[in-house]
Amino acid sequence: MKKTVKIGFLLLILGLILAILGIANNGIKTIYWHDGFHIAKRYTASAQPTKIKSITLKTGSNVIVRSGDHNSIRVTSSIDQPQITDNDGRITVTSSVKSYQSFNFQFTTPVNEATVITVAKGTKLDQLTAGRAQNGDVSLNSLNIGKLTAQPQGDLTLREVNVTQPLTDITAYNTRFNKVTAPSLTLKSTGDITIDHSQFEKSTSSITGNDDVTIRQTKLRSGQINGSDSDISLLDNQLAQQLAVKTTDGDIHVTTAPSSGINAHTDDGDLTVFSWHHDNQKSYQYQPKANQQYQLTTTDGDITVTAS
């Protein structure tokens, strides 16, 4: 065996031994590139405030705000130390945004960046703000809130949330509401919209989506729903006045009582309104004097209305 081959083989054995020793001593870390290679570390901040009046979120992580037995806050970040500011119950949570690609060789678990806030049961928050500085999904569970501002760079999920003031200028990627109550809703979403068992009965609501919209068993006073390349499903809702629904490229499906009024129009598609069906007629009106009116329009899609 040549001398260079022997040296190469010995170096390989030595490298394997050093690698094994490194793994045994937790030497393999998640790394990321940001003006050079860096080792991802785990930074945490926690607090147990005596009271929480309001919450402002400016984090680079997914956030869960929920009801629980006592107030608590815990934030985890892989970039730098998160900050929790308490100004007489006005809580601000800040952590840096992860704007780099990390690398992990599956020997270690990457840092799970998350923010979890527990609000003591019976607390009504004056305000909760997750503006455009919130980079991550936001999930709110079992909360009473005076005013909610939600424009996160991520998904928005609300479950069993009561809001005193109208929900205005709500924006998100995918949006999921379940058992949400507010006077009205103004929502813009770039992803799917799903609303179940909710109430927006005091004033006009407006919903705009770039993907599918599903509203189920929800009480609405009046409003408009606009979709772009969206299928829109309105299932067993309670409408007080008029709802205008329009999508530029998609189907509309409504289940409602036969006492509801329907004004349906499609430029290219089939129309089915209860027992009436036509695949060539573009418009059809049913019960024009009914108190509850659905104005349904699609430029390219079918409109189907069935009895609930």
Query: Residues 29-83: pLDDT tens digits?
Result: 555 544 555 555 678 999 999 999 999 999 999 999 999 999 999 999 877 899 9
Q: Are 101 and 30 in contact (CB under 8 A)?
A: no
Q: Tokens at residue 169, please?
A: 């200028």
Average pLDDT along the chain: 89
Would the pLDDT of 302 be above 90?
A: yes
Of 281, 205, 213, residue with least CA distance to 248: 213
Distance, first Cα to last Cα, the chain: 85
CA distances from 33 to 10, 74, 79, 104 (A): 32, 26, 12, 12
- Structure tokens that stand for 121 in this block: 């049961």
Q: Among the three residues 145, 165, 185, which one is the final residue of a domain in this structure?
A: 165
71 and 200 share a domain?
no
Q: Are 166 and 147 in contact (CB under 8 A)?
A: no
Please give the Cα distance from 272 to 144 (Å, whole number). Answer: 41
Q: What letter does residue 165 receive in the DSSP assignment?
A: S
Residue 24 counted as domain residue: no
**In a shared domain, residues 83 and 217:** no
DSSP class of 4: H
Examine the pLDDT at 112 and tell me if it is beyond 70. Answer: no
**Model pLDDT, residue 107:** 44
- What is the CA 15 to chain-centroid distance, rounded? 48
Residue 13 domain-assigned? no
In angstroms, the Cα distances linking 71 to 50, 78, 121, 124, 213 are 7, 24, 9, 13, 35
β pairing state of 242-247 and 252-256:
unpaired
Q: Report the number of secondary-structure helices (H) and strands (E) in the chain.
A: 1, 32
Domain that holds residue 151: 30-165
Q: Which of 165, 200, 226 is the last residue of a domain?
A: 165
Residue written as token pair 């945004």: 97
Lowest mean pLDDT among 23-37, 105-119, 150-164: 23-37
Q: Which of 165, 191, 207 is the last residue of a domain?
A: 165
Residue 286 lies in a domain: yes
- Domains contained in the chain, number: 2
In a domain, 201, yes or no: yes
